[in-house]
Amino acid sequence: MTNPVSDRIKDDVTSNDIVLYMKGDPMFPQCGFSATVIEILNYFNVEYKTHNVLQDESLRDGIKQYSDWPTIPQLYVKGEFLGGCDIIREMAANGELVAHFEASGISPKE
C-alpha cells in the first residue's frame, strides 16, 4: 500500500536539487535550528525549496518517518538526506557541504 505523504516527499526531494523541511519559512523561521540552516544555504548562495512542517501535521510526521530522523529541520540534496542543523553546520564549517554541492552539480546562483 502506498503512503501519499511519503510519495509526495519522495517526489519532492527527487525533483528538486535542494529541499529543506523546516519550521516556518525562509523569511520567518520559527525555530533557531531552521534559521541556522537557512543562513547556511543563503551563505552558499544556492537555490533551494522549503516546506513549513508547522502548516501540515501529516508532513511533519511523514518527513520524520521518511528519513527515520526524529527532528526538524531536515535537508535533502539530490534526493539524499544529509541531516539536521548540527550535521549541516558541521559540514558547512569543515568544507564538506560545499564539496557535496559541487559533487552534486549544484553551483551558486548567478
What is the per-residue pLDDT across 77-95, written as a single tens digit (0 to 9) for each?
Answer: 999 999 999 999 999 999 9
- Confidence (pLDDT) at 30: 97
**42-58: pLDDT as tens digits:** 999 999 999 999 999 99
Assigned CATH class of 4-103: alpha beta
Question: In b/e form, how buried is each residue of 30-55, taking b as 16+ CB within 10 angstroms?
Answer: eeebbbbbbebbeebebebebbbbbe
Domain boundaries of the chain, sorted by first residue: 4-103
Q: Is 84 left (phi over 0), alpha (psi -120 to 50) or beta?
A: beta
What pTM does this model have? Answer: 0.95
pLDDT, position 108: 87
Q: What is the mean pLDDT of the chain?
A: 95
Rounded mean pLDDT of 2-8? Answer: 90
